[in-house]
Each structure stands twice: as structure tokens, then as C-alpha cells.
């Protein structure tokens, strides 16, 4: 299986190797690796100049702000000054920390850039296994974009949306910023939108995506945990890899530790459990598949998630085979069963409801429910292999 | 833990009644829940005229006009991002740019009407849904609305009104995102009334993880001949509590028309369910009263099931009374894998692995297979389960005063296999699988009395696995001399 992500990232690495500084603080350095700007930056721009870091980036004319004077989100993304004067470039200012997750949620082939903003002087309540506790006014930023032509690094990209999760009075709230055609800034828009996207993929093929920007009430579909919105990606199990897959730099947990962002940082990072990278074929098939299911399904399929009534739980920590779907009958799937009797029939991917629901785009059947419109061919193949490799078992 | 919060039109005294009722039940777990709940509601149930705002209790009767300007829940922090004045829309993000629609009632916060196409209709509606604040009433004026996407709602204390049940049609035939028509998740208090939801790819109206739900005067239907491709459930509250479903009609669900799942405190009354696999199904739920409904032309009329391997392991304290259940002889069209696929064609009432259930004063007429069937999950052709909290034995069942007419004369193969009997089948069929462990025998009774046919003759009966003697003899289970008490009614509002 072609690792498209690796290709993309390698491309970016080549492009922005120059952006890596000689900073001798490894924690901060890891973050700086994340300061990759996107590919349509003017080649003449200082950011692509190998010497730029020696002189230091130009001071932005704006200052990072977490909310407007009324404590509300701004009408445009640029007003936060997350990325200085050039919002589209996504080069974070001080205090805006880029991160990646080990196992990504599939989002219709879009690419993402993620950032954490913690208010000055505040820290994150670290937890080795459970979700972290975040201080008020924390902001999580996620931008979704496509390359124009993945075979041509200079072709630029098309940014579609930037989603914010921000914590206020102890509760997370969600807001979406939608990018317009001029690609200079994004406007607050919480009603969702459908966007026709065309891009050239790594194989040189033209790909059309019926991209769905979710509306704010749909955020709970994934982020609703036990009645409240909750972050999903930034947690210990997802941040125990370097910023770049296969990279040499420290784990992102160590990066955050280097920035003193944890109240009680872990004593020994090597002791922490992290999910496997589903794309990393040096990992076991079981670890890769479980990591994939954890990232793509477990936000709903857990005891506090939207699919809790199904009793199908797909987090990496689940050990009960029935909860995992093995020889488990569906509860309320209706035609979503596809004529099959069990979520997973060991050894029989074609008899397993899990695979059937990943392989369709029928709105009433497909999984995940929202918002994607295409199948994740990589994930389907991985889960197929995982089920096929299980010891056959007669479920009846 | 117990989260009984009172919806704006659910009066406090009735919740106190539920508390008292809960206290009366004898199971230790309920006693514990009741004690916690009573402590929680002590203030609300007292005459204290300064109620604790943290209790989230509002004493607003159903006749009180909801006032959208009043914040009904002191705990809710209204989103200041949202414009509080629905009549003025200065939001520069607003896409539609159309003039506000004059709603059919002055109580409405926002009015909607069909747009030029499904996309425009959806855009206007979802804007109202996203912008809704606690206390708002979203109103659909009469018209045929076509939607291409799911209508999601996550805010507390929202009402959705149609102008008229048969004139306000929300049609989801063109939906290609999300599976449910209207999808409500994690709210305190939701009311929806007087409209039709049609042709959703998945469930008609799904409400999960919520408290205080009122479905009233609705139609949910799939047009055409009922098919496996229709959505599973018409009205689908799940993992919720304090639920009223009334005055609705549901047609064509490929699972259950009205399905109350993994929930607590529900009333299902005055509904008409037909053309579904199951008309009404109560599953892994407690304290539910199903009464004065009309269930016909389904595969099975009314089901009360408790299934293993679910987070909520209890299915008990449910009463099914005074329903008209007739001619549920539709061929089973459920998808493979669905538990209702095991419902024999021609079933009136089926009970699976529940405790403390009462089936009384129903008219159960013209069923090819089974009038009333009582089944232990363990005998169903289902895989083994591993669930220590699950109790598969039907106990403390009261079946009485039903009129059962023309039952079991043309049973389908599934009914014959399940019962191991030959046609014609008796009116009441119990598999007789009982818990034979020592101790607690006194709590393991099931009772049948005063069930008759249209000529006043006693209903026929079989215990398929009698401990001794003739399984057709009702004698050991006839409690007419000393009938157990009926389950108390479940009520939330002043009727």
C-alpha cells in the first residue's frame, strides 16, 4: 500500500527543511519543525530562505488574542493573530503550538494542520491514559485543506475550513471559519457548507470531492462525550510520536513538556502508551488496525460517545471481544447490517458488518456517519486484513 | 446516576410522584436510586418557595405559554454568540439573506417555509437550528419541505412546531448526509409537535442522551410499500429519560415504528402504528406505560424486550394496557441481523426476558401466529453472550383481562420452530424457562387471569416446559383469586 501521507510529508519536509532551526532546545525545536508553512508561499518569501531563521522571523504587526473584548470569538480568523500577518501561511506565532496525531481521522483525503493555544501562565492537566484537563480559554485549531496539485509543490493549496474548539467557563465550544476563494482569511460561519473540491493527487490523478463543512450542531456527533463537547486528538496516546512520522525529533509530549505546558509532566515518557501509526508497516497488523479504529470510530463507539447504545466499543483499550464486535449482533442497525448477522466474523471480512458499513457511501448506512462522502480505501484494506487474519470462529 | 430534570411543561408534582413510586418498588437498586433521587429532589418536592436553582427544576404547567424571553434553565448559559432577538438578523454570516418568514403563531421565535430547492430549504432550517437558544420555538409553516441533510439539534429547551400535522411535511427523500431526519443529542427538554417527517434514510426522529422529551401530534412515514430499505425506527428516543410519545402515527419502519430504548420513565399513548416490522417496542427500559394505542398490520404489534450485552441491562416495570392490537400479520421485512427479524409474522404481543411487566385490558385480535408470547432470550437462536448483569428470566409478569380473539390459526414457520408446537397455537404461549436456583423462589411468579375470547371463554394457554403435568393447564399460574397489584401509572403532566 502506497503511503500517500508519507509522500506528502516528505515533500513538505524537503520544501521546508530550511525552516528547521539550529535551536539547541530540543523541546522548542520540535515545535519549530511544525512551523512548516503551506506550499503556496511565495518562493521568494523569507520563510523559504535558508538563512531566515538566523535573522529571526519578522515581528507580526498583530498580537495573539484569544477572544474579543467581550470574550467572544472574532468574526474573522485573522483577528486572533494565530499566524501573524499571513493567516493563510499558517506559520504560528509564539504561543501557538503545532502538533500532529499518530493515527489520523480520515477526512475525505483532506490534509490538516493542528495547533494548541494555552493562555499565558496556564498549564494542561496531564493524564497518561484519560483525556487531559484544559484551562479555560484554551483553543484548539484545526485547518482542513487540499493541495492544488500534489505532484507539484509549487502549485499551492486550497484551504477549506478552520475549526476551533475553545474552552469557556469550563465547557468547550465549537466555531468554524470558512475560507473564501481569495484564500486570505476565513469568516465565522457555523451553518455548514458543501464545497466542490478538485485536486491532483500524488498519482497525478484528478480527484473530485463533495466536501462537507459540518454545521455547529453536528460537532457533537464526534466531539459529544457524555453530554459535553470534548477534544479528541490531543491526548497522550496520540502524541507519542514525532511531529513528522518516522522523524528523528522528540515526541510531541516532550515538545509540550519543553514548553512547560503540563502541570505535572510525566516522569518517564517511555513508559507511556501510544497508539501505532496505522500507516507504519513495521508495526503489527493488530496494533495498526486497532489504532485506526481508535482514531476513526472510537469517538462515537465508546461508553460516553454517540454510539454507546450500540455497545460496540472500538477504543484501543477494549479487550472484551464482544464489545469489539467479534461475533456481536447489531442492536439497532436496521438495513445497516447489509444482510450480515455480526459486526465482525473472524476470518471473514466479507461477512462482517463493520467492513460493509465502511465500504458504502449510502448516507443511511455508512460509517463514520458524518461528514465524509468518500470511502477510506486505506482504512478498509487495513480492517479487512485485520479481520481476515483473525482465527476463524463460528459465531452462530 | 439519576438525572430526572423537569422539562418546562412537566410539572414538579408529577416528578415527585415518580419518586414516590420508585421508592415503593422493592428492588434494592431502585431503593438506592430512589434515595439518591429523593435527596436530589427534596427541595423540589417540598413546599419551599425558594427552589434551589441548581436542581434545574421548573414548575411550569403544560398550559402555560412558553415564553421565549425567559431563560427556563438557570444552569444553561445561553450562547452570547447567538443573536438573542430572532426578529432582527444582523448576523453578517447569514447566508440566505432572505426576509424573515412570518410564523403561523406569535409564540414562535422563528418561522420557516420551503425554499427554492432542497439545499436552500435545508440552509434556512439549519440556520434556525444552529442559532436556537434555550426557550426558542422553531416553527415550520405549512408546506412541503425537502431536505438534503440531517437536521441536528444540541441545545436545551427547544421546541419545534409544525403548523399542522398533515400540512407541514418534512421530506428527507433527497437526504445524502447524516442518516436521521431530525437528530437531537444531549439536551434537557425537547418538544416536537404537529408535523410529518417523511422518507428519512435512517431513523425519522432520533433523540439520544436527553431528558424531558415530548413527541406530540406527529406522523413519521415512509411512502410506498414498506421495505427493508426504509429507516429502522420512526420515533427513536434512546438512552434518555422522561419521555412522552403521544398522538402520533408511524408507518413503514423496517424495525420498530416507535422504539423506546435503554431509557427510563416513558409514556407511549394514543398512537397509531402500522406497516412496521414492530409497531411499538420497549427495549432495555424501565418504568414505561404503553396505553390506548392502535397497532395493526405490523409483523408484531407491541414488544417488550430485554436484551443482553447492552449498557443498560434492566428491562422492567412496563405496563401495556388498553391497546387495540389487531391483524399484525405483515411479512417480516426486517434486515438480517436485527432482533426483530425473529418476530413471527402474526404476533400480537411479545415479551422477552423482562421482569415486573403487566399486559392487561388489551384487545388482541386476528393474529396468525401468537396472541401473547412470553420468551426467555436464551431460547432464541442467538449467539451466546457474556453479560453478568443480564437476567433472562421473565418474572412477576401479570397478564390479565385481555380479550384475545382468533389467534394462532395459521402460524408461520418461525413460530412453530420457536414453540415446538403444531398449529393451531394457543392464545398465550410461555416457554416456561424459569430460574431454578434455590432461594428467591417467592419472587419468581408469573400470573395469568381473566383473559378471554369474544365469547367469554377463557383464553387458551401453554407452558411449553411445565415443571410437571399438562402444560396447557393454566391452573398453577391463575391468580384470579388473589391477583397481584397493578403497576402504578406513569404520569408527568396534568391531564
> Do the chains contact at A217 and B201, CB–CB below 8 Å?
no
Q: Are A332 and B261 within 8 A, CB to CB?
A: yes
What is the predicted pLDDT for the residue at A35?
37
pLDDT of B455 higher than 70: yes
Query: How far apart are alpha carbons B112 and B102 in whole angstroms?
Result: 8
What is the predicted pLDDT for the residue at B165?
98
User: Residue B91: how many CA atoms within 13 Å on its side-chain side?
Assistant: 25
Taking contacts as CB-CB distances below 8 angstroms, the residues of chain B near A322 are 309, 385-386
DSSP label at residue B183: E
A307 in the same domain as A259: no
Query: How far apart are alpha carbons B349 and B281 in whole angstroms?
Result: 10
Chain B: give the shortest CA distance to residue A331, in Å. 7
What is the predicted pLDDT for the residue at A244?
83
Taking contacts as CB-CB distances below 8 angstroms, the residues of chain B near A329 are 337, 339, 382-383
Q: What percent of chain B has pLDDT over 90?
A: 73
Helix axes A285-296, A377-388, angle to 10 degrees: 130
Task: Evaluate the CA torsion angle B21, B25, B27, B32 in order and state its sign.
Answer: positive
Beta strand B461-463 pairing with B403-407: unpaired
Q: Is A304 on the interface with B (CB under 8 A)?
A: no
What is the predicted pLDDT for the residue at A56?
53
Nearest chain A residue to B229 by CA distance is A335
β-bridge mates for residue B261, sequence order: B238, B283
Report which of B373, B385, B273 is spatially closest to residue B330, judged by C-alpha positions: B273
Residues of chain A scoring pLDDT < 70: 1-57, 249
In chain B, residues 48-67 whose CB comes closer than 8 Å to chain A: none
Cell numbers at A141, concatenated: 485549531
Taking contacts as CB-CB distances below 8 angstroms, the residues of chain A near B155 are 217
- The number of helices, as runs of H, and strands, as runs of E, in chain B is 4, 31
What is the predicted pLDDT for the residue at A43?
33
Q: Are B320 and B298 within 8 A, CB to CB?
A: no
Taking residue A395's Cβ as centre, other Cβ atoms within 10 Å add up to 18
Q: What is the average pLDDT across B478-489?
A: 95
> Do the chains contact at A333 and B337, CB–CB below 8 Å?
yes
What is the predicted pLDDT for the residue at B139?
98
Instruction: Write out the residue range of the structural domain in which residue A351 sits.
Output: 286-388
A336 in the same domain as A200: no
Q: Which residues contact B7 (CB under 8 A, 6 or more apart)?
A: B58, B157, B188, B189, B190, B191, B211, B212, B213, B214, B242
Beta strand B294-296 pairing with B324-326: parallel
Question: Model confidence at B78, in pLDDT bands (50, 70, 90)?
Answer: very low
A239 in the same domain as A175: yes
How confident is the model over B343-398, as pLDDT tens digits?
999 999 999 999 999 999 999 999 999 999 999 999 998 888 888 999 999 999 99
pLDDT of B89 higher than 60: no
In a domain, A59, yes or no: yes
> Which of A231, A248, A271 finishes a domain?
A271
How far CA A139 is from CA of A73, A163, A302, A361, B32, in Å, comes to 11, 10, 24, 33, 41
Taking residue A313's Cβ as centre, other Cβ atoms within 10 Å add up to 23
Q: Is B185 on the interface with A (CB under 8 A)?
A: yes
Q: Which residues contact B5 (CB under 8 A, 6 or more apart)?
A: B56, B57, B188, B189, B211, B212, B242
Question: Model confidence at B97, in pLDDT bands (50, 70, 90)?
Answer: low
> Do the chains contact at A191 and B209, CB–CB below 8 Å?
no
In a domain, A394, yes or no: no
In a domain, A297, yes or no: yes
Query: How far apart are alpha carbons B469 and B361 in whole angstroms?
Result: 29
Q: Are B434 and B477 within 8 A, CB to CB?
A: no
DSSP A10-37: HHHHHHHGGG----S-HHHHHHHHT-PP
> Do the chains contact at B178 and A363, CB–CB below 8 Å?
yes
In a domain, A278, yes or no: no
Measured in whole angstroms, how far is the alpha carbon of residue A158 from the centre of its chain?
A: 18
Query: How far apart are alpha carbons B29 and B36 in whole angstroms?
Result: 11
A9 in the same domain as A142: yes
Question: Model confidence at B302, in pLDDT bands (50, 70, 90)?
Answer: very high
Sequence spans of domains, chain B: 1-64
A324 in the same domain as A229: no
Taking contacts as CB-CB distances below 8 angstroms, the residues of chain B near A224 are 154, 185-186, 209
Q: Where are the beta strands (DSSP E) in A49-156?
A: 96-99, 111-117, 139-147
β-bridge mates for residue A199, sequence order: A207
Q: Is A341 on the interface with B (CB under 8 A)?
A: yes
Query: How far apart are alpha carbons A81 and A85 in whole angstroms?
Result: 7
ipTM of the complex: 0.85
Chain A: give the shortest CA distance to residue B224, in Å. 17
A80 in the same domain as A221: yes
Q: What is the average pLDDT across B83-107?
A: 63
In a domain, A192, yes or no: yes
What is the predicted pLDDT for the residue at B226?
97
What is the predicted pLDDT for the residue at B338?
85
A221 in the same domain as A82: yes
A227 in the same domain as A83: yes
Q: Taking the CA atoms of chain B, what radius of gyration do you get in angstroms? A: 23
In a domain, A117, yes or no: yes
Q: Are A75 and B92 within 8 A, CB to CB?
A: yes
Nearest chain B residue to A372 by CA distance is B177
What is the predicted pLDDT for the residue at A353?
95
> Do the chains contact at A339 and B335, CB–CB below 8 Å?
yes
Number of domains in chain A: 2
Q: Where are the beta strands (DSSP E) in B132-263?
A: 137-140, 143-146, 151-153, 158-162, 168-171, 182-185, 188-198, 205-208, 211-221, 233-238, 241-246, 249-251, 256-261
User: Residue B39: how many CA atoms within 13 Å on its side-chain side?
Assistant: 7
In a domain, A197, yes or no: yes
A208 in the same domain as A96: yes
- For an interface test with A, which of B5, B73, B93 has the most A Cβ atoms less than 10 Å from its Cβ? B93
Task: Look over chain B and give the mean of its residue pLDDT values, rounded to a whole number.
Answer: 84
pLDDT of B75 higher than 60: no
Q: Are B299 and B331 within 8 A, CB to CB?
A: yes
What is the predicted pLDDT for the residue at A10?
45
Report which of B264, B265, B266 is spatially closest to residue B293, judged by C-alpha positions: B266
A339 in the same domain as A230: no
A163 in the same domain as A39: yes
> Do the chains contact at B309 and A75, CB–CB below 8 Å?
no
In degrees, rounded to 5, the angle at the alpha carbon of residue A375 between the alpha carbons of residues A369 and A378 is 120
How confident is the model over A248-268, as pLDDT tens digits?
768 999 999 999 999 999 999
In a domain, A280, yes or no: no
Nearest chain A residue to B211 by CA distance is A227
Element (H, E) at B360: strand B355-360
Nearest chain B residue to A325 by CA distance is B309
Q: How many CB pairs under 8 A join A and B?
A: 155
Amino acid at each position: 500500500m502506497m503511503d500517500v501521507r508519507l509522500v506528502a510529508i516528505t515533500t513538505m519536509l524537503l520544501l521546508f527543511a530550511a525552516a528547521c532551526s539550529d535551536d539547541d532546545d530540543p523541546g522548542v525545536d520540535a515545535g519549530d519543525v511544525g512551523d512548516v508553512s503551506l506550499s503556496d508561499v511565495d518562493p521568494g518569501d523569507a520563510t523559504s530562505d535558508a538563512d531566515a531563521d538566523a535573522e529571526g522571523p519578522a515581528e507580526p504587526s498583530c498580537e495573539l488574542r484569544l477572544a474579543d473584548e467581550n470574550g467572544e470569538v472574532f468574526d474573522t480568523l485573522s483577528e486572533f493573530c494565530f499566524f501573524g500577518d499571513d493567516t493563510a501561511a499558517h506559520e504560528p506565532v509564539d504561543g501557538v503550538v503545532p502538533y500532529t496525531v499518530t493515527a489520523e481521522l480520515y477526512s475525505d483525503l483532506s490534509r490538516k494542520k493542528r495547533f494548541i493555544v494555552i493562555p499565558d501562565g496556564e498549564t494542561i492537566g496531564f493524564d497518561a491514559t484519560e483525556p487531559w484537563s484544559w484551562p479555560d480559554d484554551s483553543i484548539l485549531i484545526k485547518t482542513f485543506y487540499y493541495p492544488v496539485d500534489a505532484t507539484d509543490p509549487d502549485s499551492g493549496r486550497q484551504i477549506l475550513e478552520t475549526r476551533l474548539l475553545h474552552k469557556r467557563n469550563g465547557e468547550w465550544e465549537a466555531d468554524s471559519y470558512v475560507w473564501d476563494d481569495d484564500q486570505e482569511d476565513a469568516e465565522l460561519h457555523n451553518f455548514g457548507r458543501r464545497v466542490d473540491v478538485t485536486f491532483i493527487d500524488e498519482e497525478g490523478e484528478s480527484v473530485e470531492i463533495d466536501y462537507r463543512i459540518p454545521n455547529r450542531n453536528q460537532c457533537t456527533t464526534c466531539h459529544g462525550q457524555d453530554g459535553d463537547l470534548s477534544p479528541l486528538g490531543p491526548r497522550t496516546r496520540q502524541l507519542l510520536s514525532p511531529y513528522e512520522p518516522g522523524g528523528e525529533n522528540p515526541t510531541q509530549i516532550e515538545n509540550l513538556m519543553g514548553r512547560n505546558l503540563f502541570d505535572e509532566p510525566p516522569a518517564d515518557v517511555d513508559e507511556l502508551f501510544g497508539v501505532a501509526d496505522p500507516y507504519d508497516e513495521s508495526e503489527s497488523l493488530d496494533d495498526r488496525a486497532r489504532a485506526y479504529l481508535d482514531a476513526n470510530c472510537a469517538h462515537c463507539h465508546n461508553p460516553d460517545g454517540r454510539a454507546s447504545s450500540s455497545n460496540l466499543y472500538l477504543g484501543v483499550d477494549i479487550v472484551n471481544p464482544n464489545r469489539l464486535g467479534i461475533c456481536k449482533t447489531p442492536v439497532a442497525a436496521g438495513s445497516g447490517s447489509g444482510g450480515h448477522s455480526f459486526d465482525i466474523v473472524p476470518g471473514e471480512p466479507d461477512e462482517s458488518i463493520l467492513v460493509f458499513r465502511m465500504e458504502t457511501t449510502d448516507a443511511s448506512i455508512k460509517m463514520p456517519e458524518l461528514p465524509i462522502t468518500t470511502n477510506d480505501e486505506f482504512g478498509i484494506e487495513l480492517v479487512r486484513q485485520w479481520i481476515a487474519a483473525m482465527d476463524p470462529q463460528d459465531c452462530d | 446516576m439519576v438525572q430526572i430534570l423537569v422539562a418546562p411543561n412537566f410539572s414538579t408534582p408529577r416528578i415527585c410522584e415518580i419518586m414516590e413510586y420508585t421508592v415503593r418498588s422493592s428492588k434494592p437498586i431502585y431503593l438506592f436510586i430512589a434515595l439518591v433521587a429523593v435527596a436530589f429532589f427534596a427541595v423540589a418536592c417540598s413546599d419551599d418557595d425558594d427552589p434551589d436553582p441548581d436542581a434545574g427544576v421548573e414548575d411550569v404547567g403544560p398550559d402555560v405559554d412558553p415564553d421565549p424571553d425567559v431563560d427556563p434553565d438557570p444552569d444553561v448559559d445561553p450562547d452570547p454568540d447567538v443573536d438573542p432577538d430572532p426578529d432582527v438578523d444582523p448576523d453578517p454570516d447569514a447566508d440566505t439573506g432572505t426576509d424573515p418568514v412570518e410564523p403561523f403563531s406569535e409564540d414562535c421565535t422563528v418561522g420557516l417555509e420551503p425554499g427554492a430547492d432542497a439545499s436552500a430549504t435545508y440552509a434556512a432550517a439549519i440556520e434556525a437550528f444552529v442559532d436556537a437558544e434555550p426557550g426558542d420555538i422553531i416553527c415550520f409553516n405549512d408546506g412541503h419541505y425537502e431536505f438534503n441533510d440531517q437536521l441536528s439539534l444540541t441545545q436545551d429547551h427547544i421546541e419545534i412546531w409544525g403548523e399542522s400535522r398533515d400540512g407541514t411535511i418534512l421530506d428527507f427523500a433527497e437526504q445524502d448526509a447524516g442518516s436521521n431526519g431530525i437528530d437531537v443529542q444531549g439536551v434537557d427538554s425537547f418538544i416536537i409537535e404537529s408535523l410529518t417527517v417523511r422518507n428519512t434514510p435512517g431513523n425519522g426522529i432520533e433523540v439520544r442522551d436527553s431528558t424531558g422529551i415530548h413527541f406530540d401530534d406527529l406522523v413519521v412515514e415512509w411512502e410506498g410499500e414498506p421495505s427493508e430499505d426504509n429507516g429502522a425506527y420512526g420515533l427513536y428516543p434512546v438512552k434518555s429519560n422522561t419521555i412522552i410519545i403521544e398522538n402520533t402515527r408511524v408507518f413503514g419502519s423496517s424495525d420498530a415504528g416507535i422504539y423506546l430504548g435503554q431509557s427510563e420513565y416513558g409514556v407511549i399513548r394514543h398512537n397509531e402504528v402500522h406497516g412496521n416490522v414492530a409497531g411499538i417496542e420497549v427495549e432495555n427500559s424501565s418504568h414505561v406505560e404503553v396505553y390506548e394505542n392502535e397497532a395493526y398490520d405490523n409483523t408484531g404489534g407491541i414488544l417488550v424486550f430485554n436484551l443482553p450485552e447492552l449498557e443498560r441491562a434492566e428491562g422492567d416495570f412496563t405496563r401495556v394496557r388498553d391497546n387495540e392490537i389487531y391483524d399484525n400479520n405483515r411479512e417480516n421485512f426486517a434486515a438480517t441481523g436485527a432482533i426483530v427479524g425473529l418476530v413471527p409474522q402474526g404476533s400480537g404481543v411479545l415479551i422477552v426476558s423482562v421482569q415486573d411487566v403487566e399486559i392487561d385490558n388489551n384487545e388482541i385480535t386476528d393474529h396468525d401466529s401468537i396472541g401473547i408470547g412470553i420468551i426467555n432470550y436464551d431460547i432464541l437462536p442467538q449467539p451466546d453472550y457474556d453479560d453478568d448483569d443480564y437476567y433472562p428470566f421473565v418474572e412477576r409478569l401479570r397478564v390479565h383481562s385481555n380479550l384475545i380473539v382468533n389467534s394462532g390459526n395459521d402460524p408461520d414457520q418461525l413460530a412453530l420452530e420457536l414453540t415446538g408446537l403444531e398449529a393451531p397455537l394457543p392464545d398465550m404461549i410461555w416457554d416456561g424457562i424459569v430460574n431454578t436456583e434455590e432461594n428467591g423462589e417467592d419472587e419468581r411468579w408469573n400470573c395469568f387471569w381473566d383473559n378471554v375470547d369474544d365469547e367469554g371463554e377463557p383464553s387458551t394457554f401453554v407452558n411449553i416446559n411445565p415443571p410437571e403435568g399438562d402444560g396447557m393447564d393454566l391452573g398453577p399460574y391463575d391468580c384470579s383469586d388473589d391477583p397481584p397489584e397493578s403497576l402504578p401509572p406513569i404520569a408527568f403532566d396534568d391531564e
